[in-house]
Structures are given as structure tokens and as C-alpha cells.
Amino acid sequence: MRIGYIRVSTQEQNIARQEALMELLGVDEVYIDRMSGKNTDRPALKKMLDYVRKGDIVVVESISRFARNTRDLLELIEQLERKEVTFLSQKEAIDTSTPTGKFMLTVFGAVAQLEREYLLQRQREGIEIAKRQGKYAGRKPMKRDNFNVVVSQWKEGQMTAVQAMDRLKMSKSTFYRRIKEDHTSRL
């Protein structure tokens, strides 16, 4: 079977281009994650890795959709190889069923990681310059009128943390950061 894996970084990003490619390539099954690729802790990726069997082919639009650093990429490919599953990356024309494809995978993975690190470095440098010039103050904090009420209900056991995050429309990291900030400001 040809198994497709699609990833976009946010819920808002469109997956139509990657879906069209999967259809064009005759993919039988598609797994989709709408989250950062900063690590391999992604639900659809895990399901896909559990699902694939000997002889299957995992197809991605590009390496960057599969993994964001060389270590993660090589570990994921190793998991696929242990199951005797081939990896195909359309953009980079990589096919791990060949020795050249395996070599190119490592090279492209390293280049993709370097490119990402350069991008983050330029971003940090740009923000620092903008801050010094008084042109950047960071993102505006999220204000939730019901924050204290919901957190009190959570602390009293009236709801789970996940329910509190859903009600506040906050990510896990934002929720716990705000709780920590509130606790620190009260000291």
C-alpha cells in the first residue's frame, strides 16, 4: 500500500496542495497532522507508524513535512526500515529503496535542519533589532475575562485541565504559563 503523510503547522493552514499530490500519486491511505513538526510526538504520525506493514510505501510532499531535524528524520526512517517500509519524498525525489536515495535522505535532512536553524537565527536577530528601535513589543497577551473563574473551577476539581483549556480556548503551554504568571505576580 501507498500511505500518505500530510502535516501543516497550524489548524488554519490549508492542506489542499498536499492532498492533491497524494491523490495524484495514488496514495491509498492518508494520515494528517495539523501541528508543529518540532518533534515526533504527533498523533497521526504515530498511527501511521503503527499501521504500516512490510512492503508499504510512505509518501510525503517534502522532508520538512515529515521531520524538522536530521535526528528525528533518521530515527523515523529507521523505524520504517525495521518494518521493511520504503520512504518517498516527492519534492526531493528521495526513495529509500535505493542506496542513492538513502544517502540523499541524510544530505537533504541535514540541509533542511540547517535551513530551519538559519531561519530561526535571522528571526531572533530581526526581533532584537526591532526591540532596540522600539518597533517590536512582542505579541499582545491573550486576555480572557473568565480566566480566574475557570482556573478556580479547575483547581477545585470541577473540571479537568483539558476542559479548562477548551473553555478558555488556550493551548496547554499558554494555559500553564498564565497560571504560573498569576502565581508569581501574587507573591
The one-letter amino acid at 47: K
| 152 catalytic residue (yes or no) | no
**Cβ-Cβ contacts under 8 Å for 142 (sequence gap 6 or more):** 170, 174, 178
Please answer whether residues 58 and 88 qualify as being in contact, where contact means their C-beta atoms are separated by less than 8 angstroms.
Answer: yes
Select which of 9, 62, 89, 171 is catalytic. 9
User: Which positions are catalytic?
Assistant: 9
